[in-house]
Amino acid sequence: MADDSIAIVRVRDVLMIAMPADPDDATVSALQEKVLQVIEQSEAKGVILDISAVETLDSFFARTVAETVQMVGLMGGRTVIAGMRPSVAITTTQLGLTLGGAMTALDVDRALDMLSNMH
């Protein structure tokens, strides 16, 4: 389904990945492989994971995001998670989830600033 797909756009040396609102498990699982593949091909240094559309971040989704951040790190890249909705932040915290200490930003603009200040 088109509205369930993951869009990856490269801007300079940053990959911007937009997650759909309510992805199924297969789409969430595909995120990891797709991101790592594109990093290798594009030699990107940073990744922005835009979750501003995401309405539900359950433990499976959160674990996959945290693992992806770690894997990107092993390949020499940095990830910023951008745009978490207030309702998702509240729910995720009460559920007891962390994103493994990943860098976060209010929106994609600020995430881009963070990544460009690092280089």
Partner 1 sequence: MSIKQQREVQIRSDNDIVATRRTVRAVAQSLGFGITDVTRIVTATSELARNVVLYAGSGVMRWRELGMSGRVGVELTLEDNGPGIADIEQVMQEGYTTSGGLGLGLPGTKRLMDEFEIASEIGKGTRITVRKWRR
Q: Would you tell me which residues interact with partner 1 (CB under 8 A)?
A: 22, 24-26, 55-60, 63, 85-88, 90-92, 94-97
For residue 69, which amino acid is it?
V
Helix (H) or strand (E) holding 104, with range, is strand 103-105
Nearer to partner 1, 95 or 118 (CB): 95
| Min separation Cβ 23 and partner 1, Å | 8
Closest contact distance (angstroms) between CB of 29 and partner 1 is 9
Least distance (Å) between residue 82 CB and partner 1? 18
Q: Which is nearer to partner 1, 33 or 55 (CB)?
A: 55
Phi, psi (5° rounding) for residue 64? -65, -40
Q: Of 20 and 77, which has the nearer Cβ to partner 1?
A: 20
Can you state the angle between helices 59-74 and 25-42, rounded to 10 degrees? 10
Q: Considering beta carbons, is residue 26 or 74 the nearer one to partner 1?
A: 26
Distance CA 44, CA 15 (A): 6
Dihedral sign for Cα 20, 23, 25, 27, please: negative
